[in-house]
């Protein structure tokens, strides 16, 4: 019998109300479908504090619901402890990556990556911030998050 290793993934954006809660919900949905919920921990957080305690943006909740995906969380800010608690920290854009590097505690080597590094379709590597745009922006963000999360899960299940 193969002993499955546990793994933990934190999705990060700026406000933790639009993109990273969607990535968290989609990834959790895929993890559950794959029967791996017992051994993969999923969460999300923001580098900014404006929306702490809030549920996801109604437009993220709507697009998720249209695709049968539940978004479980409330917004919180990234903490230095997250770098110790999570095996992988997955950012939505390069600005998030820079903000995260500034928060990284000394001597903690947790890998940071862009979600769209996993996207099988070509692009600029970023999930664009849909906050100030229209409804169609959320549908486009959903599609890229979904594709990227499917590939990320393959990677997590392979790497442990
Ligand atoms: P998110 O989008 O980073 O995808 O959650 C944003 C939400 C709120 C703000 C910026 C981006 N804001 O400036 O309040």
CA 157 / ligand 1 centre spacing (Å) = 30
The CA distance from 41 to 27, in Å, is: 10
Q: What is the mean pLDDT of residues 66-93?
A: 98
The CA distance from 130 to 110, in Å, is: 28
Is 12 a pocket residue for ligand 1 (Cβ < 6 Å)? no
Instruction: Identify the pLDDT of residue 50.
Output: 97
Q: Look at the block and give the residue holding tokens 């929306």.
A: 51
How does residue 5 score in pLDDT terms, banded at 50, 70 and 90?
Answer: confident
Q: Which of 12, 48, 97 for mutating ligand 1's site (highest number of atoms within 8 Å of CB)?
A: 48
Which residue segments constitute the domains of the chain, with CATH numbers given? 7-159 (3.40.50.2300)
How does residue 63 score in pLDDT terms, banded at 50, 70 and 90?
Answer: very high
Q: What is the mean pLDDT of residues 44-64?
A: 98
The CA distance from 86 to 41, in Å, is: 8
pLDDT in tens, 109-153: 999 999 999 999 999 999 999 999 877 899 999 999 999 999 999
Phi, psi of 13, deg, nearest 5: -135, -160
Mean pLDDT of the chain: 95
Is 148 a pocket residue for ligand 1 (Cβ < 6 Å)? no
CA trace torsion 27, 86, 138, 61 (10° rounding): 70
Q: Is the pLDDT of residue 160 over 80?
A: no
pLDDT in tens, 92-111: 999 999 999 999 999 999 99
Instruction: Identify the pLDDT of residue 4.
Output: 64
Q: What is the mean pLDDT of residues 52-76?
A: 98
């Amino acid at each position: 019998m193969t002993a499955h290793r546990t793994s933990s993934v934190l999705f990060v954006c700026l406000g933790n109300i639009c993109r990273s809660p969607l990535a968290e919900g989609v990834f959790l949905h895929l993890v559950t479908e794959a029967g791996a919920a017992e051994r993969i921990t999923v969460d999300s957080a923001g580098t900014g504090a404006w929306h702490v305690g809030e549920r996801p943006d109604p437009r993220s909740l709507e697009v998720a619901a249209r695709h049968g995906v539940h978004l479980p969380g409330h917004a919180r800010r990234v903490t230095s402890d997250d770098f110790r608690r999570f095996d992988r920290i997955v950012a939505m854009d390069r600005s998030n990556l820079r903000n995260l590097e500034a928060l990284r505690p000394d001597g903690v080597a947790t890998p940071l990556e862009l979600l769209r590094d996993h996207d099988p379709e070509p692009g600029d590597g970023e999930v664009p911030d849909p906050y100030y745009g229209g409804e169609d922006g959320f549908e486009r963000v959903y599609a890229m998050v979904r594709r990227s999360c499917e590939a990320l899960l393959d990677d997590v299940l392979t790497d442990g």
